[in-house]
């Protein structure tokens, strides 16, 4: 789909606009960008032939051994890098080079050619200024303060400080391909059927996994000789259930490769993605692999299967990126540290009003957070002309960027409807949000919000979906800052009129159900302070105090 291309160009343009708007453009052709996580500035000469592209000052090693600064040289010359105390002379050739005092240790962090620095070259955790020079002339300078632990500074990323081991991805689009769109609880067999009969590979990414049927399919695939790998979140909100621990025990005993993402230095606040790679097909869900989700026993959820090797390969690359760093631990090693909790399973039964739709989609694009989903969805919403349908359990705040884009769409005449949950834990905040939106849009006829209670069609809203004209977006992304900026989330954007109409029909049925309650935007209600505030926590596992950002499932 054309609207999801040219990402690199837009990112560079966005950075330039932000720099100009913030007054960061400085004389002499350089730019200086400051960031909240470990303040940093960057100045480059106009038309420079070399640049500092990465700094890793604070690895989690004794004496920070392995710290380095990476430079990219476009032409040979007399190049040097200095921290003011030590200097490294770079090879007289083009390419990328990692300047370090400890080349062997640095090789465990980067594949870039290491260049050993002499003298007292050392990257101070409390702050440093690094200079790249050619023939003694300053070409590039990077300064930082208080380098965050186990994070790397990257030149062309926003924010510049990002967890080590995280490599942002661009969206990847596959052309015309067969897809199956389905919804839950109407089609509980679809997710299991999508992962069945794997012969070569079966990678399953999960926030939680308690479905016995799914575990049986994983073990059966392993017994057939397929490579079976599972990655789960090691510390879900509310703790890991006793049932999930038993399911993972069984998988590991059967020989499947099971990992948990965990630890205070994890690259993502939560591994919240829900997808599978099955040979040359892929399935992406809004639901967890458990009875209330894929089992069809409670949640309204959306899902899609894609029969395209390119899409499967791209998701396989995401899985390998996430499952092969030092924040993922084998279940056999992690098991002894897990304290489980007893949690009830859903046992509801619902009508099957919407059978799956199989068709050929015009294109499918893989989106991931925190890599690219924000700007891609904002662009999608900005280009919407006629209809914008949004289903979410809740939305973090009235100034959430995707919601602001939706309100701008309503202002220009797009029919915008937002369907939210009405459970005990989100009803008040959703009511308050509707009132806030009404104040900002002055009761626009183009913006309507309802709270859905299911009325026999489902137990609760858990889907995270968008229909924007003829594009549908299906995935794990909750509309809050934590999900967008900190979690690992995966979604597919399917550009096809039939697929968009399928999800729109489901949306319309849920919208018009007797169990929905329309919220008259514009009527003032008191905003609950706890719902609108953000509780900051230093520890990763305490990040669920704020209800809008809490990852329940």
pLDDT attached to residue 434: 80
Confidence at residue 157, expressed as pLDDT on a 0 to 100 scale: 77
Residue 139's H or E segment, with its range, is strand 137-145
What tokens were used for 483? 């999900």
Whether residue 192 is contained in a domain is answered as: yes
Question: Has residue 34 been placed in a domain?
Answer: yes
Pick the more confident residue, 398 or 319: 319
How many whole angstroms separate alpha carbon 291 and alpha carbon 284?
Answer: 17
Give which of 298, 300, 289 is closest to 348, Cα–Cα: 298
- The residue with tokens 């995270």 is 464
> How does strand 95-100 pair with strand 113-116?
parallel
DSSP structural state of residue 91: P
Q: Do 394 and 525 reside in the same domain of the chain?
A: yes
Asked if residue 487 has pLDDT above 80, the reply is yes
CB 484 within 8 A of CB 374: yes
Q: Does residue 543 have a pLDDT over 80?
A: no
* Residue 78 structure tokens: 């007399």
Average pLDDT of 63-70? 92
Listed residues 163, 192, 209: the one ending a domain:
163
Same domain for 179 and 159, yes or no, is: no
The answer to whether residues 158 and 177 belong to one domain is: no
499 part of a folded domain: yes
Helical residues (DSSP H) of 355-496, grouped into ranges: 373-382, 401-411, 427-441, 481
Could you tell me if 362 and 323 lie in one domain? no
42 & 181 share domain: no
Band of pLDDT at residue 162, cut at 50, 70 and 90: confident
User: Sheet holding 471-475: strands in order across?
Assistant: 172-174, 363-369, 489-495, 471-475, 465-468, 387-392, 415-421, 447-452, 516-519
The answer to whether residues 279 and 403 belong to one domain is no
Asked whether residue 252 is assigned to any structural domain, the reply reads yes
Asked if the structure places residue 9 within a domain, the reply is no
Q: Looking at the domain assignment, is residue 149 inside a domain?
A: yes
384, 488: one domain: yes
Task: Identify which has the larger pLDDT, 553 or 170.
Answer: 170
Among 133, 163, 193, the domain-final residue is 163
The chain-wide mean pLDDT, for the chain, equals 85
CB-based contacts of 156, cutoff 8 Å, min separation 6: 11, 12, 15, 53
Report the distance separating Cα 366 and Cα 21, nearest Å. Answer: 31
Q: Give the pLDDT mean for 329-339.
A: 95
Give the whole-number percent of the chain exceeding pLDDT 90: 68
Domain-located, residue 57: yes
Residue whose pair of structure tokens reads 């921290």 in the numeric block: 83
Domain boundary among 163, 198, 228: 163
Helix (H) or strand (E) holding 489: strand 489-495
Whether residues 145 and 189 share a domain: the answer is: no
Angle at 155 between CA 104 and CA 367, to 5 degrees: 100
Asked if the model's pLDDT at residue 7 lies above 60, the reply is no
* Cα distance between residue 84 and residue 144, in whole Å: 14
Asked, for residue 20, whether it belongs to a domain, the answer is no
pLDDT above 70: percentage of residues in the chain: 84
One domain for residues 46 and 177: no
What CATH number has the domain bearing residue 122? 2.60.40
Over range 294-313, report the average pLDDT.
97
- Whether 16 shows a pLDDT value over 50: the answer reads no
CA 471 to chain CA centroid, Å, is: 20
Q: Residue 422 — pLDDT band, cuts 50, 70, 90?
A: confident
Domain ranges, residue 374: 357-549
* Residue 5 pLDDT: 40
Q: pLDDT value at position 345?
A: 86
Q: Any idea which of 21-25, 330-334, 339-343, 356-360 has the lowest mean pLDDT? A: 21-25
- 197 and 142 in a single domain? The answer is no
Query: With contact defined as beta carbons under 8 Å apart, do 272 and 208 qualify?
Result: no
Q: Which residues of 96-119 are buried (b: 16+ CB within 10 A; e: fewer)?
A: ebbbbbbbebbbebbebebbebee
Q: How far apart are CA 67 and CA 58, in angstroms?
A: 7
Say if residues 551 and 393 touch (Cβ distance below 8 Å): no
Q: Is residue 397 located within the same domain as residue 303?
A: no
What pTM was computed for the model?
0.80
* Distance between CA atoms of residues 80 and 134, nearest Å: 7
Tally the domains of the chain.
3
Q: Specify the higher pLDDT residue, 534 or 295.
A: 295
CATH number for the domain spanning 309: value is 3.30.870.10
Residue 187 tokens read as 């089609």
Whether residue 286 is found in the same domain as residue 424: no
Render pLDDT for 453-485 as a digit per residue (tens, 0 to 9). 777 899 999 999 999 999 999 999 999 999 999
Span 37-41, mean pLDDT?
Answer: 64
| 405 backbone dihedrals φ, ψ, rounded to 5° | -65, -40
């Amino acid at each position: 789909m054309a609207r999801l291309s040219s990402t690199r160009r837009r990112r560079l343009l966005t950075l330039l606009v932000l720099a100009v708007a913030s007054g960061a453009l400085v004389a002499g052709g350089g730019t200086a960008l400051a960031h909240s996580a470990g303040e940093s500035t960057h100045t480059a000469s106009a038309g420079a032939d070399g640049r500092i592209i990465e700094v890793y000052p604070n690895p989690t090693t004794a004496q920070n051994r392995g710290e380095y600064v990476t430079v990219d040289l476009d032409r040979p010359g007399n190049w040097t890098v200095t921290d003011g105390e030590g200097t490294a002379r770079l090879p007289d050739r083009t390419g990328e080079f990692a300047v370090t005092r400890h080349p062997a240790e640095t090789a465990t962090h980067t594949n870039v050619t290491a260049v050993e620095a002499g003298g007292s070259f050392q990257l101070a955790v409390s702050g440093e200024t690094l200079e790249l020079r050619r023939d003694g002339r300053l070409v590039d300078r990077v300064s930082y303060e208080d380098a965050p632990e186990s994070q790397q500074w990257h030149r062309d990323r926003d924010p510049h400080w990002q967890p080590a081991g995280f490599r942002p991805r661009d969206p990847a689009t596959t052309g015309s391909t067969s897809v199956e769109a389905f919804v839950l609880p109407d089609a509980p067999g679809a997710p299991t059927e999508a992962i069945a009969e794997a012969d070569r590979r079966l990678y399953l990414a999960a926030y939680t996994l308690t479905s016995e049927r799914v575990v049986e399919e994983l073990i059966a695939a392993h017994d057939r000789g397929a490579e079976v790998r599972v990655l789960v979140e090691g510390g879900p909100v509310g703790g890991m259930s006793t049932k999930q621990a038993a399911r993972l025990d069984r998988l590991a005993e059967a020989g499947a490769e099971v990992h948990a993402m965990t630890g205070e230095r994890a690259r993502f606040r939560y591994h919240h993605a829900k997808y599978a790679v099955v040979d040359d097909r892929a399935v992406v869900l809004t639901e967890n692999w458990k009875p209330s989700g894929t089992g069809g026993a409670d949640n309204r959820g959306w899902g899609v299967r894609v029969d395209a090797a390119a899409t499967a390969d791209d998701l396989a690359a995401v899985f390998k990126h996430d499952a092969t760093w030092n924040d993922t631990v084998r279940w056999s090693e992690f098991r002894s540290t897990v304290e489980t909790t007893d949690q009830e399973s859903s046992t509801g039964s619902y009508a099957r009003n919407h059978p799956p739709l199989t068709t050929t989609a015009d294109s499918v694009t893989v989106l991931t957070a925190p890599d690219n989903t924000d700007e891609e969805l904002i662009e999608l919403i900005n280009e919407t002309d006629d209809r914008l349908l949004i289903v979410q359990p809740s939305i973090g705040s009235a100034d959430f960027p995707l919601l602001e884009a939706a309100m701008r769409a309503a202002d220009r005449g797009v029919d915008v409807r937002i369907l939210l949950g009405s459970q005990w834990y989100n009803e008040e905040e959703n009511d308050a949000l509707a009132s806030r939106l009404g104040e900002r849009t002055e009761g626009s006829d183009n913006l309507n919000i309802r709270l859905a209670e299911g009325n026999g069609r489902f137990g609760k809203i858990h889907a995270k979906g968008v229909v924007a004209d003829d594009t549908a977006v299906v995935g794990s992304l909750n509309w809050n800052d934590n999900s967008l900026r900190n979690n690992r989330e995966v979604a597919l954007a399917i550009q096809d009129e039939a697929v968009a109409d399928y999800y729109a029909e489901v949306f319309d049925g849920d919208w018009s159900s007797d169990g929905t309650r329309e919220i008259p935007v514009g009527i003032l209600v008191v905003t609950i302070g706890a719902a609108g505030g953000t509780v900051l926590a230093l520890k990763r596992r305490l990040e669920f105090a704020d209800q809008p950002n809490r990852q329940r499932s």
